[in-house]
A and B are shown apart, each in its own frame.
Chain A
Amino acid sequence: MAPSIVLLEVEAPAVAAKAEPGQFVIVRMDEKSERIPLTVMDFNREKGTITIVIQDVGYSSALINQMEEGSAFLDFVGPLGVKTEIEKYGTVVCIGGGLGIAPVHPIARALKEAGNKVISVLGSRSADLLILEDEMRAASDEIVVATNDGSMGIQGFVTDGLAHVLNRGEKVDIIWAIGPMIMMKAVCDYTRPLGIKTIVSLNPVMVDGTGMCGACRVSVGDETKFACVDGPEFDGHLVDWELAMQRLAYFKDEENRAKARLECEGGHH
């Protein structure tokens, strides 16, 4: 799709039959792999497939990025998490940052089908890294693109794209924002004083994804929640972002070690 980003369409009829926007799957490549959560980007109930988009950011994602057509995951579990609350809100802004555009896509589509006016703000570092532009255009009434280097659309961040929408006087009823933690935090910091409800999809470390370990716990409105069963979507204005970002960094050293090993061995076969 873009450098280091791949799209996989996975045959999983039982999962596809039940998947809804906002949910995720847990996958395991082979016997020695870890379980990692991936958001459902799309599902096709007739074909029985689930589409996921994954960026090479570490050991496991690098291995998955090397998968070829015809290869299979050892384990593919889902759909997990609570589905997005789709209803008619009025005007909705759907913000997707980087890889976050993939999970925002089915949400935007469902919101539009529910009769909302959907304005999507898409952000990426540069034009060549922007994914799913056509799909998002089809799922939205309007798209606004922001690139950090200005190679496409507005130069700046998704918050600049959002400002562009709000500054022209658009009355926005609710916002969905999905992307890196730092981006979701920035959007929430921007919308909090404006009083615009902002839903985010958190991506903490997970192990089982079914609520049995609490690895994914986050603090929301001073309450501890398990993102895998209580979320992954939460009211972004209530999320303790500092804590969420700290916890995401807990296994950084180990992640680097695993990645270094992969590079040493020159790939996995």
Chain B
Amino acid sequence: MALKVPRHEMPCQDAQERAHNFDEVALGYTREMAVEEAQRCLQCKNPLCRTGCPVEVLIPDFIKKVSEEDFLGAAEVLKVKNSLPAICGRVCPQENQCESKCILGIKGEPVAIGRLERFAADYEMKHGDGTVEKVQPSGKKVAIIGAGPAGLACAGDLAKAGHAVTVFEALHVAGGVLMYGIPQFRLPKEIVQREIGNLEKLGVEILTNQVVGKVTSVDELMENGYDAVFIGTGAGLPYFMGIPGENLNGVYSANEFLTRTNLMKGYKFPEYATPVKVGKKVAVLGAGNVAMDGARTALRLGAEEVSIIYRRSREEMPARKEEAEHAEEEGVQFRLLTNPVAIHGDERGWVKSMTCLRYELGEPDASGRRSPVAISGSEFEIEVDTVIVAIGQGPNPLVTKSTPGLELNKRGNIVADPETLATSKPGVFAGGDIVTGAATVILAMGAGKKAAASIDAYLKSKN
């Protein structure tokens, strides 16, 4: 019976309309849709979906609650494993994770686990009483550096285990990439702050404006009574192409462009004082999720023509399929097998054009992706007035540089034991992008949870 009901599509704002506003694109399931979708779940005895989830959410159990219309109960089950379900339901690439393992996906469409997670979490935010159970304090103190997905997930689990947790965040709000990177139209900032508010109710203390490496250091935290430290400082150092003209006016790193727009609310300038300037013809270099976010943001800020410029083909694009499709529906163009070699400016030093080369795909490289090869003599010019560089980020060295004895790899990432996430420094753990390099929100959360479990074990062993 369950198989006959098709998977419910996500209701979305119309593409033409949403391309000009910052309101959330996906509107979320109605109660009826959620219940019907939940009823599609076969309630497997040995649920494979859970093996695809980096934080092992009790998927069939929460879906059962949804199907019984016990939405608050569903949220409670979600929160056993995931402190930030309203966020994960929105930004996880479920097609590669939980939903990729769903048995219904073999012959048809998998259960829309992400959409159901989002529905239950949103329902709880609206209708729940917001109370949390207090736990017996352990008497141990843990410092967490960085309030991004890894740090927040780690903080939540440690607080649930009774430890006194303080999070040190360099920016003026907690959330990391959830606040400065992922745009409002994909992840409303109010939702991020409400989920972080739930962590504070658990007893997590969040100190903003604290640049560890400058105002304090890992060693000082340990000296000042913290029993363990978790480093979750992410991959916040933007890479540039290293081509001529990259410092001209009109060239942004995606981090700068998105931080101005999201964190500083530049899209509401001048009501908010931070300006963000976008021209008529925008080129976004790169084809990951950050590039899609940059391109779609540029459209919403009033750009007339926005192109993604990528040296491989559509198949190799690292962005989530859904994000690339949304971008295309909104009018973003894809200039594939193309890469710039120089950016040119006018006499005032403002971007006016780019020289690009055409590429073809060669043999697969070590990672299995076909490597792009430039076609000699294929230079051509394109007119652009804004360039957004979204070719990746590396580890920010502020914390690692100020922490003697911390082993790093050659890219500057922290070396951590894959099982325990312990670093070369006793009592110091690390996880998320600072260890793996730029990856996804949910992988960072998974690492945060894993670290929390081993920090808990470490603290108990110290008794």
Residues of A participating in the B interface, judged by any CB pair closer than 8 Å: 14-15, 18, 28, 32-35, 59-60, 74-80, 207-208, 210-215, 217-219, 224, 229, 242-243, 246-247, 249-251, 253-255, 257-258, 261
Contacts and interface: CB of A to CB of B under 8 A. Distances in A.
Contacts of A251: 275, 277
Contacts of A59: 273
A255 B276 CA distance: 11
A214 B255 contact: yes
A172 B289 CA distance: 54
Contacts of A208: 170-171, 259
Interface stretch (B34-42, B84-92, B246-254, B361-369): B246-254
A255 B250 CA distance: 16
A250 B277 contact: yes
Contacts of A214: 238, 240, 253, 255-256
Contacts of B271: 32
Contacts of A247: 247, 249, 349
Given A208-B259, A217-B247, A250-B249, A79 B273 contact: no
B208 A75 contact: yes
B255 to A, nearest CB: 5
A255 B275 contact: yes
B209 A76 contact: yes
A212 B259 contact: yes
B236 interface: yes
Interface residues of B, number: 41
Contact of B270 (A14, A18, A257): A257
Contacts of B256: 207, 213-215
A15 B215 contact: yes
A224 B240 contact: yes
Contacts of A80: 211, 214
A34 B249 contact: no
Contacts of B253: 213-214
Nearest to A29: B273
A76 B210 CA distance: 9
A34 B277 CA distance: 15
Contacts of B380: none
A215 B216 CA distance: 25
Contact of A77 (B209, B272, B396): B209
Interface in B204-220: 208-211, 214-216
A255 B172 CA distance: 22
B249 A210 contact: no
Contacts of A32: 265, 271-273
Contacts of B171: 208, 210
Nearest to B349: A246
Nearest to A258: B270
Nearest to A17: B215
Looking at chain A's contact residues, the main secondary structure is mixed
Given A14-B215, A18-B214, A34-B273, A213 B259 contact: yes
Contacts of A28: 172
B12 interface: no
Q: Would you list the 8 A-B pairs with minimal beta carbon distance, nearest first? A: A254-B275, A246-B349, A213-B256, A212-B236, A34-B274, A34-B273, A75-B172, A250-B249
A261 B269 CA distance: 11
Nearest to A209: B211
A249 B250 CA distance: 11
B322 to A, nearest CB: 27
A218 B247 CA distance: 8
Contacts of A207: 256, 259-260, 264, 274
Contact of A34 (B170, B246, B250, B264): B264
Given A80-B211, A212-B259, A229 B398 contact: yes
A78 B271 CA distance: 26
A224 B389 CA distance: 15
Contacts of A257: 270
A33 B265 CA distance: 10
A120 B150 CA distance: 49
Contacts of A78: 211, 214-215
A74 B247 contact: no
B246 A224 contact: yes
Contacts of A218: 247
A212 B255 contact: yes
A18 B259 CA distance: 27
B382 interface: no
A23 to B, nearest CB: 8
Contacts of B45: none
B215 A18 contact: yes
B237 interface: yes
B348 interface: yes
A215 B247 CA distance: 9
A35 B238 contact: no
A210 B273 contact: no
B247 A224 contact: yes
13 contacts: A32-B273, A34-B264, A74-B172, A75-B209, A79-B215, A208-B259, A211-B236, A212-B238, A214-B240, A218-B247, A229-B397, A246-B348, A250-B277
Interface string B159-175: 00000000000111000
B297 to A, nearest CB: 14
Given A218-B247, A246-B348, 13 more contacts: A15-B215, A18-B216, A32-B272, A35-B264, A35-B274, A60-B273, A210-B171, A212-B237, A213-B256, A214-B238, A214-B240, A215-B252, A251-B275
Contacts of A253: 277
A163 to B, nearest CB: 31
Contacts of B274: 34-35, 207
Contacts of A34: 264, 272-275
A246 B253 CA distance: 17
A60 B274 CA distance: 10
A218 B348 CA distance: 17
Interface string B9-43: 00000000000000000000000000000000000
Nearest to B173: A75
B255 A77 contact: no
Given A211-B396, A254-B275, A77 B172 contact: yes
Contacts of B214: 18, 78-80
B181 to A, nearest CB: 10
